[in-house]
Amino acid sequence: MELGAHDLLWLLLPLAAASGWWVARLDHRLRPAKAARDFPSAYFKGLNFLLNEQPDKAIEVFIKVLEVDSETVETHLALGNLFRRRGEVERAIRIHQNLIARPTLDKEQRSQALLELGQDYLKAGLFDRAENLFLELAEYRLHNQQALRFLMQIYQQEKEWEQAIATCRKLARATGTAFDDVIAQYYCELAEQAVTAKDVNGAHGFIKQALAADRQCVRASILLGRLEAMQGRHREAIKAWKRIEEQDAHYLGEVADQMAASFQALGDEDGLYDFLQAALQAHGGVAMMLALAAVIKQRQGIGAAEEFVVDWLHREPSVHGLQYLIDLNLAEADLSVRDDLVLLRDIIGELIEQQRGYICRQCGFKGKSLHWQCPSCKRWNAMKPFFGGALD
């Protein structure tokens, strides 16, 4: 990537102004004669190196210029920033480290350079160094909010959730904005770690804290239900999953199969039937329809299930419903039509695969699995399930 003309112009203007070149021409008494004489030529030499794609030589020149005149700090910050944006992190680090070493910097200039250097380290994957710089800035309340945001980014990437929570709380205090839903997600991450480590009590504790931070946290309800079901406490599991209906019914489909299994473990077929029917009536949704069709098939046979699906398809046409209908017919089909039905079902299956997934409401990213943090825009709680193009 080359420096564009626009970039160069942008660098040129403030530096020329800051150099006092013009001022010195108007009034020689305002500036030391040496800086006025040397600065522009050194500066244009640096620009020339940049234009000729010799950035290291350009950096040498600019660093020398800085020694002559500390008013060029802004331009060095801009230059370092430019290198980082171009992915030339080592060069950015060199410029920013050199800046910080200047004894003439004032407090604001120094903290700005530290903030930039921290971002260089972050981009270079040197998380420990970046963390130390941002912690220092946050401690002295210099660029506090930005430093805290970068720290959160580091702790998320490193999966250090306790520290992420503490940082998020500080940021909430500093900005006066609540980040309760994000804090709840961090607690859910801790709960999942505890489940993996077979620490059931720990997991319960974290889920409780997630729900204390954000009553609307669907993920906490999903996790709690799974944890209870894992321990054979199916009644409690169902209670936890039922909360999703009030939190965000879009996610009910995520637990439809698990709920059915827990109702069945309790021998409560009626309870399952009643719940699914009420949920389908209230919120619609393919996943609930399919779960209910399976129950009807078990209780009243294929004919009743078929009738139910056909009726539903009339109101809400969907490829999922169609596929299920074909499945039902396949069980009783004559050999003569069987192959055709199998082919049709496979084609529809392919269609479904293409259409089913999760979409980020923030940036539009689509994925096949549910991420609580969007892999693209990194926003939490933005991915929603969708079927056939529409949100389910």
**342 vs 363, beta carbon nearer Zn ion:** 363
User: Cβ of 231: how many Cβ atoms within 10 Å?
Assistant: 12
Please identify, using beta-carbon distances, which residue of 338 and 361 lies nearer to Zn ion.
361
Q: Are the C-beta atoms of residues 98 and 66 closer than 8 Å to each other?
A: yes
Element (H, E) at 140: none
Cβ nearer to Zn ion, comparing 35 with 360:
360
Return the residue matching tokens 């999942």.
Answer: 192
User: Closer to Zn ion at the Cβ: 114 or 152?
Assistant: 152
Q: How far is the CB of 258 from Zn ion (least distance, A)?
A: 26
Q: For Zn ion, which is the closer residue by CB, 296 or 360?
A: 360
- Residue ranges that bind Zn ion, judged by CB under 5 A: 360, 362-363, 365, 374, 376-377
Residues facing residue 357 across a β-bridge:
386
Could you tell me the smallest distance in angstroms from the CB atom of residue 361 to Zn ion?
Answer: 8
CB of 152 to Zn ion, least distance (A): 17
| Contact status, residue 14 vs residue 69, Cβ threshold 8 Å | no
**Residue with Cβ nearer Zn ion (289 or 382):** 382
Give me the long-range contacts of 145-153 (CB less than 8 A, separation at least 24): 145/171, 145/174, 145/175, 146/115, 147/115, 147/118, 148/174, 150/118, 150/119, 150/122, 153/122
Residue 378 Cβ vs Zn ion, minimum distance, rounded to whole Å: 7
Question: What is the closest distance, in whole angstroms, from the C-beta atom of residue 367 to Zn ion in the complex?
Answer: 10
Return the number of the residue (342 or 377) whose C-beta is nearest Zn ion. Answer: 377
CB of 377 to Zn ion, least distance (A): 3
Structure tokens at 137: 């800035």
Cβ 350 to Zn ion, closest distance in Å?
Answer: 26
Alpha-carbon gap, residue 195 to 193, rounded angstroms:
5
Cα 293 to Cα 340: distance, rounded to the nearest angstrom: 23
How far apart, in whole angstroms, are the C-alpha atoms of residue 153 and residue 150?
A: 5
> In terms of residues, how long is the chain?
392
